[in-house]
Every structure is written in C-alpha cells, then in structure tokens.
C-alpha cells in the first residue's frame, strides 16, 4: 500500500505511462495524490520489483456512505509490459482491498477502456460484468474512446438489501433488463408506456425561476448546478473540459414540468460548452422520468441493479443509464467476448 511520501512517484508514473496526456489531471499532481492517500478515501497499491523499484500502481476509490467503490488508474511502466505477472498482481490487489472493506462496500465498479480487451477480461474474471456502455465518453492519448461499465456485487446487494419495489420500465429498456436479469437472477418487472402531458403554464413558470451556480476547482473541473428559485428542485453535474463530458449527474424535482425544463437546460449547457458526451442514471421505478429523458434524445445504454444506496430506506435501488453523444462513434475498439455479447443487446456491432 502506498504511503503519502509515495505521491510523487505515483504522479510521475502516470505522467510517464500516458506521456503527459492523462485527462484527469489530479492524478498527475503530487499534492493531490498525497491528499487522496491521506484522506483514507483512496487506496493506492504499488507494484515493485525485488530491488524495490516501483514499476506500476492501481487505485481504489472508496465511498463508504454510498457503499460503493471505484477501481481506476491501473498503470504499468511500458518496459515491463509482458515481463511480470501483472494480471495476478492486480487480482491480488483486488482480493486484498475488497477484504479490507468487506460488509462496508457492496459494489465495486470500473469504467473500462475499449482500446484493449485485457482489462475487460481481467475484471470479468473477478466478477465485474459488463452492464453499461459509455460511447465516446473518454479521451486517452489525445484520442476519443468509449468505455464499458463493469460491476461486481456483494450478493446481499442484489438480494437482502435490494429494494423490494418492482422495476417499472419503458419498452426501450427491456432488453437491457433481461440481460442483467439473466446475469443476476433478478425478479419480475413491469413494462410501462406512460403518456407525458405537460402543463404549459407550469413550464413557463419553471423557466422564469431558472438559475445556476458554477464552482471551478484548481484542476479545471466545473461543478454546475441548475436550479429553480424558491424551490428545492435542481439538476447538478460535473463538467470535465479535458474530456468534454458531463457526468455524475443528479436531480430532484417535484413534477414533470420541472424535470422537462431542467433537462432542456442541461442539453442547452452541453451545446454551449461543446460537450461531446453526457449521462444520467434514472430511477428504474419512475417510467415517466425515463420517458422525459428518452423524448429529449437520451438513450438507455445500461441497467444497473442496486446502483444507488437509499440511506433513508436502507436499501439499494435500481438505476438505468441514459446517455447521449455526438460525432462519429469510436470504432477502433478491441473487445472481450462478454463485452461483445453485452453490446449486441444495444445493437452495437464492432469487428
């Protein structure tokens, strides 16, 4: 396990491997990496030779409140590729970190590059299954890439602690649900085709009350919140200029008219900032909300059972990944067989 004094080595390693193009600049910053290690919310594991030369690292981000962990930034010096058991080393790291957070973290996930199949295969090997697609979401080595959402669940997250509510989904989501239903032996669901009748007066009033706030940190990340004055309704998201995307989107509304106005404003922000990709995870129990996003041009590209932890009800709730992208889809992909199988559910066919 890395210590704070290893921060410089880690940040330099990431700079070296990605030739200074790594888009998430905090990982190239010694001070930021040290702060991550000291916070206890990030576990950095180092790969070392017998002579104690550090030749690689990997990172686990831990969110105890949401009972969820993110596996990210697995790097190995290029001259050591194929020269040591990187696969076994990485699996060993996972076993170790997962054991540290047993019964505290119930979901581990990774957003996996499609530029090569090795990581897809290794994560699948240790039970992280492909259940979501992020078309054109990322940029590595200054080239646009797509990502795969791969997830591993503690059994209790899908049984004992999963919400007892039955998913209510649109027909456009059904194939995705059936795919994960087969993977995880999930229960029944209901198909819905809701009609959306919006009140023009409520829409006009919501538009009058629109406002926003923007907070930009030292690495250029913009935390943007669109909200309605005199209301608790909002839609907030993270804008990352280096990859031109919106993610980590969350919202809260009182009615469909408010949601409609906030979604239209969300899309307007995407156009103004020339964003290439944007996403949101929508409740699997609110088909009318799903329909609003579908009508706005978002498409369902993943069904994530037990994705969000509801602290009030002490259970995990299902979410549907909706996203949108522009431009030519990255077609230079190398896919593991299970990834190909999942993408066929979305009618994406790659060589």
pLDDT value of position 350:
67
Burial of 197 (C-beta count, 10 Å sphere; 0-12/13-18/19+): exposed
| Torsion region of 205: left, alpha or beta (phi above 0 gives left; psi -120 to 50 gives alpha) | alpha
Which segments of the chain belong to CATH 3.40.630.30? Answer: 4-158, 168-330
Q: Which helix (H) or strand (E) holds 123?
A: helix 118-125
DSSP assignment of 310-322: ETTTTEEEEEEEE
Any idea which architecture 168-330 has in CATH? 3-Layer(aba) Sandwich (3.40)
Place of tokens 């992208």: 325
Q: How far is CA 173 from CA 147, 181, 186, 281, in A?
A: 20, 12, 15, 13
Burial of 83 (C-beta count, 10 Å sphere; 0-12/13-18/19+): exposed
Q: Which helix (H) or strand (E) holds 6?
A: none
Helix runs in 127-245, H state only: 155-158, 174-184, 200-208
3-state secondary structure of 137: strand
Any idea which architecture 4-158 has in CATH? 3-Layer(aba) Sandwich (3.40)
Which letter does DSSP use for residue 241 in this model?
A: T
Express the helix, strand and coil content of the chain in percent, nearest 5 each: 35, 35, 35
pLDDT value of position 348:
77
Q: pTM above 0.85? A: yes
Cβ atoms 291, 197 nearer than 8 A: no
pLDDT value of position 351:
53
3-state secondary structure of 73: strand
What's the rounded Cα separation, in Å, for the pair 267 and 264? Answer: 5
What's the rounded Cα separation, in Å, for the pair 146 and 276? Answer: 12
Is the alpha carbon torsion for 193, 194, 197, 198 positive or negative?
negative
pLDDT value of position 86:
79
- pLDDT tens for each residue of the chain, 351 residues long: 999 999 999 999 999 999 999 999 999 999 999 999 999 999 999 999 889 899 999 999 999 999 999 999 999 998 888 777 878 889 999 999 999 999 999 999 999 999 989 999 999 999 999 999 999 999 999 999 999 999 999 999 999 999 999 999 999 999 999 999 999 999 999 999 999 999 999 999 999 999 999 999 999 999 999 999 989 999 999 999 999 999 999 999 999 999 999 999 999 999 999 999 999 999 999 999 999 999 999 999 999 999 999 999 999 999 999 999 999 998 889 999 999 999 999 987 665
């Amino acid at each position: 396990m890395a210590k704070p004094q290893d921060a410089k080595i880690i940040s330099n390693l990431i700079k070296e491997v990605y030739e200074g193009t790594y888009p998430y600049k905090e990982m190239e910053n010694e001070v930021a990496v040290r702060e991550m290690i000291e916070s206890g919310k990030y576990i950095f594991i180092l790969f070392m030779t017998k002579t104690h030369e550090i030749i690689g690292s990997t990172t686990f981000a831990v969110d105890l409140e949401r009972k969820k962990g993110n596996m990210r930034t697995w790097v190995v010096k290029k001259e050591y590729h194929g020269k040591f058991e990187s696969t076994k080393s990485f699996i060993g790291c996972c076993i170790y970190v997962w054991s540290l957070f047993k019964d505290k973290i119930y979901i581990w996930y990774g957003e996996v590059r499609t530029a090569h199949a090795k990581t897809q295969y290794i994560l699948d090997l240790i039970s992280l299954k492909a259940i979501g697609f992020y078309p054109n979401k990322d940029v590595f080595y200054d080239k646009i890439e797509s990502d795969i959402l791969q997830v591993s669940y503690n059994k209790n997250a899908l049984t004992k602690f999963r919400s007892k509510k039955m998913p209510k989904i649109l027909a456009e989501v059904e194939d995705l649900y059936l795919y994960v239903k087969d993977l995880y032996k999930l229960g029944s669901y209901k198909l819905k085709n809701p009609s959306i009748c919006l009140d023009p007066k409520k829409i006009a009033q919501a538009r009058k009350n629109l406002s926003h706030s923007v907070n930009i940190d030292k690495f250029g990340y913009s935390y943007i919140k669109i909200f309605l004055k005199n209301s608790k309704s909002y839609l907030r998201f993270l804008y990352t200029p280096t990859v031109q995307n919106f993610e980590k989107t969350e919202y809260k509304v009182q009615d469909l008219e408010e949601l409609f106005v906030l979604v239209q404003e969300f899309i307007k922000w995407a156009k103004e900032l020339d964003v290439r990709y944007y996403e949101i995870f929508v409740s699997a129990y609110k088909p009318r909300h799903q329909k609003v996003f579908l009508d706005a041009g978002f498409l369902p590209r993943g069904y994530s059972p037990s994705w969000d932890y509801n602290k009030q009800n002490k259970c995990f709730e299902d979410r549907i990944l909706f996203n949108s992208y522009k431009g030519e889809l990255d077609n230079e992909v190398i896919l593991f067989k299970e990834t190909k199988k999942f993408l066929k559910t979305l009618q994406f066919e790659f060589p």
